Structure 1
Amino acid sequence: MNKWKILIADSHAIVRVGLLELASESFIVEEPIQTSSLDETLLAVKQNSDLNLVILGSNLGQLDELIGDIREFSPKVRILVFAKNLHYPHAISYLIAGANGFLTQNASAEEIVGAITKVLNNERYLCLELLEAMAQETFLNNVHRRKISPHKNKTDTPNSLNDKLSKRQKEIVDYLIKGESVSAIASHLNIKISTVGTHKSIVFEKLGVKNVLELIEMYYGDLVM
């Protein structure tokens, strides 16, 4: 069985210890390294050219820059981002910078081990939340192109969202159409996840939509004329 040298970087000790315990239960981890800041992490990468995997917590700071720096010193090391929650633009920037995988702290122990396994096997791993957000982004772009097409029916009448939603519901809709998860929205607005879920259900009922994709189409039908 392969022996792996893994670096786990996160500002919270409990996260580092938990990830290391999960990794050690499923893999032979040789000389595990823990760091808690950007500078410590980059220094550890420079001092350990034989690293197989770097797991980065999103609370370290400018991860896209760190990932780029790691890639300069160690092009072959696998990088897995373990984010507190999903923020779509940030997640995409991490992947563009060179990360091999992305998942959030909503992941189960089984999913975390699965993500590590794939990344160590030189495969890419994207959590379901991110895949759904990417699908929504693709759908949104297609809707946008259709709405501004010169062949668009000029007699279409948009539905008004402003008259149907409260200020808080509009804020939640704005985040939903950007591909944000319920947990991420709760973090942005400093409210409970259950509160976001309740507002989301009310919004869907008010607007007569069944999912976020239908919400996106209605939103752009309202705004792009």
Structure 2
Amino acid sequence: MNMKKWRILVADSHTIIRIGLLQLVSENFVSEELIEARSANETLLAIRANPSLDLIIIGTNLGQLDELIGKIRELSTKVRILVFAKNLHYPHAISYLIAGTNGFLTQNASAEEITKAVVKVLGNERYLCLELLEAMAQETFLNNVHRRKISPHKNKTDTPSSLNDKLSKRQKEIVDYLIKGESVSAIAIHLNIKISTVGTHKSIVFEKLGVKNVLELVEMYYGDLVV
């Protein structure tokens, strides 16, 4: 049986991330070439030197990534691009997709999810991590809410009183970030606490309020603001 041999470039300024991704790829895919790049310039040079690349796994620490993706697309319209982001920042993720990315993952992804994403992208499919899919659904929901002319007189960053009575100060802070579409990892950075701590608070909030996901939380929050 003939197995496709892939040409893959891993571009990230952090050595440990490059090593980890290269190791993962080498263990799960038959590769004709595995190349690494440490900067935006090295990435573009590698693409010029290897015009038949199949996939670029690219970190978000290489500068203005949407601009870099645009330059990559000028050099090759066929190479697949999988972004491997430190955390989810919704506007940036969308700009990467618009610039020409085929997939988006965060560093919270397990080895199994990374492998699944690479398989999908190499198969000419798009891969979006669950965090981004939830953020996109939430953004759609919020846009629909605003079209219904929710009260403009309340500060949307203040949690409604019915939620205030049930939540601690820290939990209210986390709710405020969740309804803005922030990921667990991003909230941990904002509040300078561990990701696991945010996850624990999030689970407690959901249990206290009787919601199953962020979309239900947003619906409850904005429902209290309807006039």
TM-score under structure 2 length normalisation = 0.84
- Over the matched positions of the two proteins, sequence identity in percent amounts to 80
Task: Find the counterpart in structure 2 of residue 61 from structure 1.
Answer: 63
User: Residue 81 of structure 1 contacts residue 101 of structure 1 at CA under 8 Å; is this kept in 2?
Assistant: yes
Q: Between Structure 1 and Structure 2, how many residues are aligned?
A: 217
The residue number in structure 2 matching 1:174 is 176
How far off its partner does 1:220 sit? 2.6
Inter-CA distance 207–25: structure 2 relative to 1 (3 Å threshold): closer
- Cα distance, 1:219–1:6 mapped onto 2, change above 3 Å: same
Asked whether the 8 Å contact 1:88–1:178 carries over to 2, the reply is no
The SS at the match of 1:188 is helix
Q: CA deviation at 1:47?
A: 2.5
Residue of 200, 203, 220 corresponding to 2:202: 200
Cα offset for 1:36? 1.2
Tell me how large the CA RMSD over aligned residues is.
Answer: 2.4
- Give 1:19 deviation, angstroms: 1.1
CA distance in 1, matches of 2:174, 2:63: 25
Tell me if structure 2 keeps the 8 A contact 1:176–1:212. Answer: yes
Pairing 1:149-164 to 2, within 5 Å after superposition: 159-160=160-161, 163-164=164-165
Partner in structure 1 of residue 22 of structure 2: 20
Runs of 4+ in 1 over 6 A off after TM superposition: none
- 1:31 and 1:201 mapped to 2: Cα distance? 44
Give 1:103 shift.
Answer: 1.1
CA-CA distance at 1:189 after TM superposition: 2.3
Q: Give the whole-Å Cα distance in 2 for the aligned partners of 1:204 and 1:114.
A: 29
Which residue of the partner structure matches residue 71 of structure 1? 73
* CA deviation after TM superposition for structure 1 residue 142, in Å: 1.8
In 2: Cα distance, 1:147 partner to 1:107 partner:
37
C-alpha change, 1:143 and 1:115, in structure 2 (3 Å) is same
Counterpart residue identity of residue 88, structure 2: L
> Which residue does 1:121 correspond to in 2?
123
Instruction: Name the amino acid aligned to 1:74.
Output: S
Q: Secondary structure at the match of 2:81?
A: strand
What TM-score do you get using the length of structure 1 for normalisation? 0.85
Distance (whole Å) between structure 2 residues aligned to residue 22 and residue 198 of structure 1: 30
Gaps of 5+ in 2: 152-158
Aligned AA for 2:24? L
Where structure 1 has 5 or more consecutive residues not aligned to the other structure, the ranges are 150-157
Q: Report SS of the residue matched to 1:85.
A: coil
The answer (yes or no) to whether the contact 2:150–2:225 under 8 Å persists in 1 is no
